[in-house]
Amino acid sequence: MMSKRQAELPLEEDVPMGSPVSKKARVEDEVQQGELAAPSQWPREQKFEQDERQGNDILAAADLEAEELGEGAQDDDADDDRPVIAAPKRQSAPMEGYSDLYLDTIHRQILDFDFEKQCSVSLTNINIYACLVCGKYFQGRGPKSHAYYHALEVGHHVFINMGTKKVYVLPEGYEVKNKSLDDIKYVVDPYYTKNEVSKLDKEVHDAFDLAGNRYRPGFVGMNNIKANDYLNVVVQLLAHVFPIRNYFLLHEFPTPGTPQLALRFSTLVRKLWNPKAFRSHVSPHELLQEIALRSSKRFTLTQQSDPVEFLSWFLNNLHLSLGGSKKPSKTPTSVVQAAFQGHLKIESQAITAHSDTQNARLVFTESGTTNSQITPYLILTLDLPPTPLFQSANRESIIPQVPLTTLLNKYNGLVASEKLAHRVRHRLLHPLPPYLLFHIKRFSKNRFVSERNPTIVTFPSPRSLDMSPYVEPNPDIWPPSEPILYDLVANIILDPTVAAPAAGEDAAADKGVNAAGGSSSSGAGAGSEKVAWHVQLHDKAMSSENNRLQSQHAGEQRGPEWLEIQDLFVKRAESETLFTREGYLMVWERRKTPGTAKKGKGAAK
């Protein structure tokens, strides 16, 4: 049995002969010239053993070891010139000779700036940047922004600010000023000069997209996301009304103070007339989002609505967005009223009934009191005659026809219509607006069924419609002997092969403003998914070009003067067959007749 070691004896003297060699020899091997290195320079194993020999607590040695491991890791990071994750150095300008760095990674074919400007991560619409490599939207460009992380993670380095149209390289953060990016900036926000706008209706300019497809600026298709073709045809129609188009092409809206409805409509009109577009169609997604918000989801991209109902709502809200007055006024307070607003005189007499005892019947007569009022209008409603109840002998459907002038007799002041126990007469007043909107009332709905009237409205020519018989004479404004001629600009039509509603099919009732100040039912069938809306547009520039060519070379034409657009599809339409389709909403432009301005005060307006 081994005897107990005395405390004063050194540890080395009491080591048994069979025990391992002491670790002191290893330490002494590292000592040079008989001197031990400083304890701070000893290896970790040596420190641990020294602490053990000195009787120090083993836990204290472990803590020291852990602390030194942490210090060593910091020293290693400090000495490493290339850390694993390090923030790139921010630059105010590109390095000399590298001003076009990363510009070859831009992918123009997939860029699409028609959609809502929202960050794809945070869904915010503040300070949005678009990646020019993949087309996604991100917020900000600072070191903690989503665009900055996108540049680090994916390796996409070129971004454009959707508000200022400045291009930056991330993560370095410097602005790129290169002329090769001007085409992208123009597509983000097209702009026009007065000289360019003045030539839109005079000179034909063909354009080509990135795929090499030819298109006519102003006559491009619009994407039907799901069921927004009712909006597409209305936007196409307004984009070809001369004062509306020119106002939104040239007017610069202050972004902080302009309502989004006017701002987004202006952007869409400018993209429709863009001669440098990357693709030959546009998407109304951004305008649709604002309309759905402003209308409390009354008009959306997923449910089809009536074009006249939407046009009535849109014109009134666009008028207010441009600072127009809420109260009726004789003078226009916005470009919308200046283009479409006219005034109408309505005379009404109450219908009274009394008993004819001699003939045993009721007799309806008009009371002697006539109420007259003057009301403004934007859209004139034309009532179609009832459809025939019977078919022909060979059981083929009879499609009746009625001249447009017959429908306009509603406004000659002589033809009366019955409404709510009153006999009502209408008369247009001078001055007529520069543009007339005619709504042909095709849909009716009762308690049991919704019906569409397929009557064809004929007109001999899309030019020279004389409106003087329907206007109350006023020599101070317009000479009575002078005709008031209007030319057709656009025509929204309904495809009968698609739009025929089934019996009992429900549809939304039209609540738009009509000429008499009441409501017109035009929603039957319009809310159905089977409806297809088209728009026929007059190409004034091509018409001028054809007239010039015919005067120089008899019979030669360069292209069609009328085009029909259904969503993304654009095709030719013949002026001789325009009336053969079921017209629903027409726009007629007043012709400027030379010499008339000297005879009347309002002729030149």
What's the CATH code of the domain at 146? 3.30.40.10
Residue 292: both structure tokens together: 């759905």
If asked whether residues 273 and 141 sit together in one domain, one would say no
- DSSP SS3 for 35: strand
Cα 552 from chain centre: 42
Residue 63 lies in a domain: no
- Yes or no: say if 162 and 185 are a contact pair by the CB < 8 Å rule: no
- Yes or no: say if 521 and 182 are a contact pair by the CB < 8 Å rule: no
pLDDT of residue 605: 39
pLDDT of residue 497: 58
Give the highest mean pLDDT range of 14-23, 241-250, 344-353, 549-558: 241-250
pLDDT of residue 278: 93
CA distance 467 to 472: 11
Least confident of 10-14, 74-78, 107-111, 132-136: 74-78
Q: What are the CB-based long-range contacts (under 8 Å, 24+) for 499-504? A: 499/452, 499/525, 499/528, 499/530, 499/531, 499/532, 500/452, 500/525, 500/530, 501/450, 501/451, 501/452, 501/525, 501/528, 501/530, 503/449, 504/448, 504/449, 504/450
If asked whether residues 519 and 564 sit together in one domain, one would say yes
If asked whether residues 285 and 380 sit together in one domain, one would say no
Identity of the amino acid at 513: V
If asked whether residues 207 and 140 sit together in one domain, one would say no
Least confident of 14-23, 125-134, 148-157, 592-601: 14-23
Residue 205 lies in a domain: yes
CA distance 476 to 13: 135
Residue 207, pLDDT above cutoff 50: yes
With tokens 């809420």, the residue in question is 326
Q: What is the pTM for the complete model shown?
A: 0.76
Phi–psi pair at 147, nearest 5 degrees: -65, -35
Q: Please identify, among 307, 336, 351, the residue that sits at the C-terminal boundary of a domain.
A: 307
Mean pLDDT over the full length of the chain: 78
If asked whether residues 150 and 233 sit together in one domain, one would say no
CA distance 447 to 450: 8
If asked whether residues 298 and 373 sit together in one domain, one would say no
Residue 215 lies in a domain: yes
Residue 298 lies in a domain: yes
CA distance 31 to 42: 10
Residue 220 lies in a domain: yes
Least confident of 60-74, 150-164, 427-441, 538-552: 60-74
The pairing of strands 167-169 and 174-176 is: antiparallel
CA distance 93 to 88: 14
Q: How many domains does the chain have?
A: 3
If asked whether residues 182 and 250 sit together in one domain, one would say no
pLDDT of residue 299: 95
CA distance 325 to 328: 7
Domain interval for residue 474: 364-388+397-598
pLDDT tens for residues 36-86?
A: 444 444 454 454 455 444 444 544 444 545 554 444 444 444 344 444 445
If asked whether residues 233 and 268 sit together in one domain, one would say yes
Q: Please identify, among 259, 274, 307, the residue that sits at the C-terminal boundary of a domain.
A: 307
CA distance 169 to 158: 5
Residue 316: both structure tokens together: 């009134």
Residue 469: both structure tokens together: 């018989």
If asked whether residues 222 and 257 sit together in one domain, one would say yes
Q: Mean of the pLDDT values across residues 513-528?
A: 38
- Yes or no: say if 261 and 321 are a contact pair by the CB < 8 Å rule: yes
Residue 348, pLDDT above cutoff 50: yes
Q: Please identify, among 269, 288, 307, the residue that sits at the C-terminal boundary of a domain.
A: 307
What's the CATH code of the domain at 278? 3.90.70.10
DSSP letter (8 states) at residue 501: P
Dihedral over alpha carbons 467, 471, 474, 475 (to 10 degrees): 20
If asked whether residues 180 and 251 sit together in one domain, one would say no
Residue 472 lies in a domain: yes
Q: What are the CB-based long-range contacts (under 8 Å, 24+) for 286-294? A: 286/114, 286/115, 286/116, 286/117, 287/231, 287/235, 288/225, 288/228, 288/231, 289/116, 290/260, 290/261, 290/264, 291/231, 291/261, 294/261
- Yes or no: say if 180 and 103 are a contact pair by the CB < 8 Å rule: yes
CA distance 113 to 422: 54
Residue 244 lies in a domain: yes
If asked whether residues 152 and 197 sit together in one domain, one would say no
Confidence band of 208 (pLDDT split at 50, 70, 90) = very high
Q: Mean of the pLDDT values across residues 180-200?
A: 93
SS (H, E, C) 17-32: CCCCCCCHHHHHHCCE
CA distance 395 to 378: 41
Residue 6 lies in a domain: no
End-to-end CA gap in the chain:
129
- Yes or no: say if 168 and 150 are a contact pair by the CB < 8 Å rule: no
pLDDT of residue 523: 41
Q: Mean of the pLDDT values across residues 300-304?
A: 90
If asked whether residues 219 and 166 sit together in one domain, one would say no
